[in-house]
Structure 1
Amino acid sequence: MNVFFSVNPSSLNLNTVEPLTGVNYRKWKQDLEIVLGVMDWDLALRTEEPPALTDDSTSNQKSKYEKWHKSNRIALLIIKRSMTDVVRGGFPDETNAKDFLKSIEAKYRESPKTETGNLMNALTTMRYDGVQSVREYILKLVDVAGKLNALEVPISDTFLVHVIMNSLPESYTQLKVYYNGLREKWDVNELIAICVSEEERMKKERFEKERIESVNFVQSVTRATKSYVPDTAKKDSTKSVPSPKRNFKLNKPSVFKCYFCKKAGYMKKNCPKYKAWLAKQEAKQGLHNKENTK
């Protein structure tokens, strides 16, 4: 049983197709074909025009005829709408959408020799910058090689692998040395898998290095902060600022303690016991002096 999925044309934005200019033909054609295909208006581009209807035409033939002409009419409107006025004016009016696209392609067709030269230049000068993924970069080179093969310029897997290896940066030197020491050869699929693994390994090493540097930086900043003395905390030569310890001593209430009787509240010279003891000592000394005079 055939199952058909219908797409509402109004739900698609035809403005996503970039208007045709002098330099974007490839992208314009690809986007246009996608939009027409999703909207199911590409029947006239995929099939030839059905024979004209006659009195003997069946209902099936009539249905195919009407469907093709409707598709052809809408496809022509969409194609012309996606072209700038200047570009559209350079093409004669066509009633067949497929023929109209062929006339556009004829004017944008590049010389095979020029295209081959551009592709060869791209293949030999392209270098991996490390911004995009290595898989995406290698696939770009594979795409260039495929276009050269289509232009009857054969690019073998072995040659392509060497081109890719030579275009990798110095960070892949270890991988290059390893490959050059092998007897067997890699194909492009093996090279992609190995390069992706090498890319992941380098990312982990770079992450670990950055983590260690970050820890060392935090530690150094912490030590510097502990040893740093702000200018406002330094002693001003024109104004004496008492230390907290000195302020504590000045604010502490004075408590006197007698060193003779060990009681608090007065000093030794004011101690009653010390005065009494001193008087006794003086009396004894006076008595001793009298006895000596006799």
Structure 2
Amino acid sequence: MDAFAIQRQLTGIEPLNGSNYTTWRTSVDIMLGFLDYEFVLYEEKPAAITEESSEAVKLLYAKWTKANTIAIRLIRASIGETIRGDIPVFNTAKALQYYYLTQFMSTSYDGSGSVREHIYKICKLVNGLRE
């Protein structure tokens, strides 16, 4: 895929705004698939390389690291600013699911703010877990 096609696809991703998760997720998956980087969402990070690591292991680690970096950048760039500020930076694209799970399990309405805001927060966490 050439740079022009990648740019066109990237600009075609509607930023995640809380109500368009399914469409956004599909677009991100398609883009990562075009780039052949979607595997970082499903595979664990390979073990760190050592001096004794084979060339094949070193290449696998380099491929995973590059794909992970690009996946994180693509995901963060395609999330609306209001939501992006609520999501901490992670070292792996897969780590996001752990963040959402812990946030979801520890969230309860404390009486501050509106119930609507609390429900919106829960919906964002549930959508993140669906990833």
TM normalised by structure 2 equals: 0.71
Query: In percent, how many aligned pairs have the same letter?
Result: 33
1:44, distance to aligned residue in structure 2 (A): 1.2
Distance 2:78 2:98 in 1: 16
5 Å-filtered alignment, 1:75-154, equals 75-100=71-96, 103=99, 107-109=124-126
- Matched with 2:39 is 43
C-alpha spacing 1:81/1:62, structure 2 compared with 1 (3 Å):
same
- 5+ residue gaps, structure 2: 105-123
The 3 A distance-change label for structure 1 pair 100 and 63 is same
The answer to whether residue 83 in structure 2 is matched with residue 66 in structure 1 is no
* 2:11 corresponds to: 15
Shift of 1:35: 0.9
Cα distance, 1:103 vs structure 2? 4.0
In 2: Cα distance, 1:102 partner to 1:20 partner: 19
Q: Look up the match of 2:20.
A: 24
Q: 1:34 to 1:15 in 2, by over 3 A?
A: same
Residue 8 of structure 1, CA deviation? 2.7
Structure 1 residues 102, 17: closer, same or farther in 2, change over 3 A? farther
Aligned residue number for residue 48 of structure 2: 52
- Misfit runs of 4+, over 2 Å: 7-10, 100-108
CA distance in 2, matches of 1:84, 1:91: 11
Change (3 A) 1:24 1:87: same
Spell out the pairing of 1:202-217 with structure 2 (5 A cutoff): none
CA distance 1:71–1:93, shift in 2 (3 Å): same
Report 1:157-172 matches (<5 A): none
Tell me which of the two structures has the higher relative contact order, counting C-alpha pairs closer than 8 angstroms and 6 or more residues apart.
Answer: 2
In the alignment, the residues of structure 2 paired with residue 92 and residue 86 of structure 1 have an alpha-carbon distance, to the nearest angstrom, of 13
- Bigger radius of gyration among the two: 1
Q: Which amino acid aligns with 1:18?
A: E
* Matched residue SS, 2:46: coil
CA distance in structure 2 between the aligned counterparts of 1:29 and 1:83, rounded to whole angstroms? 10
Task: Report deviation, 1:108.
Answer: 3.8
- Tell me the C-alpha RMSD between the 2 structures: 2.0
